[in-house]
Amino acid sequence: MKCTNRTGKRPSKILSMALLTAVLTLTGCGQAQYALGYSVDSEVSSFRVVDLEEERGTAVPFAADLCVVNGNITSGDVDMTAASGAGLFDLNNRTTLYAKNVHEKLYPASMTKVMTALVAIKHGSNDMRLTASANVKIQESGAQLSGIKEGDQMTLDQALHLLLLNSGNDVAIMIAEGVAGSVEAFTNMMNEEAFALGATNTHFANPHGLPDDNHYTTVYDMYLIMNEAINYNSFNEIIHTDEYTTVYTDKNGASKEITVTNTNRYIQGSADAPTGITVMGGKTGTTNAAGHCLVLFSKDSSSNPYISIIMRAESGDLLYSQMTDLLEEINK
């Protein structure tokens, strides 16, 4: 499905059109007004309008610079039966190359941390000091932890590396409290950011992605969030890093060293992208409720950018084999 593109840079700049009924005025020999309704409760997180077939012009949606997709767009070469949702988005051409259940609400698991990082980058600074509270002690079974303790201190830049590479849920708590003062306040900021991006089928209940009935997103909304995050150089630098070593301090000022590796198999080198495709980075996510999830930022041999997403794959091996097949669509 072809995505329209006519004006604008980001949907957030003119999202106010979408919060109320949008009225577009088209000029010619006279004036004509068209009321274009937008509902935040829509099952589709995009504002699509077709040409009005009037001599005096065409209505332009607020999502004019985004890939827009309503139904499924499939390929016989991609077997996605072992995943609940998937999408492949051509950012330059604003084209959706593949789509399966892209507007179905699903648990994102640690893909949540893309939004956590985005909000932290927008509202914090790399050198701001964070101090871990007692809340970093997460005891939920299966929770991924970086091992920080109450009183530990590090910069936001260090914390973001641990968040996006090691996927530490304890680090997510420290970032949330350090940037916003509390997890609740930070989560509200995450939801405000999602709404501003047009991700209206998304709601976050925490900054780490551990299961909650009120914590969900869609493949399409994840594309919107990732599409915003890759505008920040610090985010791109981190997700492209394979291994990271840093030193931080404990509550007594003693130094503590930690080394983490990227959970992304393409960055690790244990999974191979198709010929001509370079994976710039991404974010993994795995819980029993969410299955195996992955969002990627990639480029083709001409450096054209793409975002690909798979949610709720049945296993890690299937996730990466399906993602490789999905990325192969770029070469066609």
Catalytic residue numbers read 110, 113, 167
Burial 102-135 (b: 16+ CB within 10 A, else e): bbbebbbbbbbbbbbbbbbbeebeeeeebebbee
Sorted by sequence, the CB contacts under 8 Å of residue 61 that are 6+ apart come out as 4, 36, 46, 47, 48, 49, 68
According to the 3-state scheme, what is the secondary structure of 173-189? HHHHHHHHCCHHHHHHH
Q: Give the three-state DSSP class for 90.
A: strand
Sorted by sequence, the CB contacts under 8 Å of residue 303 that are 6+ apart come out as none
Residue showing tokens 């999602």: 194
Q: What is the length of the chain?
A: 332
Indicate the burial class of 325 (C-beta count within 10 angstroms; 0-12, 13-18, 19 or more). middle
d(CA 190, CA 206) in angstroms, rounded, equals: 9
The rounded radius of gyration (Å) of the Cα atoms in the chain is 20
Sorted by sequence, the CB contacts under 8 Å of residue 119 that are 6+ apart come out as 179, 186, 189, 190, 193
d(CA 276, CA 217) in angstroms, rounded, equals: 30
Q: Among residues 224, 158, 217, which one has the least CA distance to residue 197?
A: 224
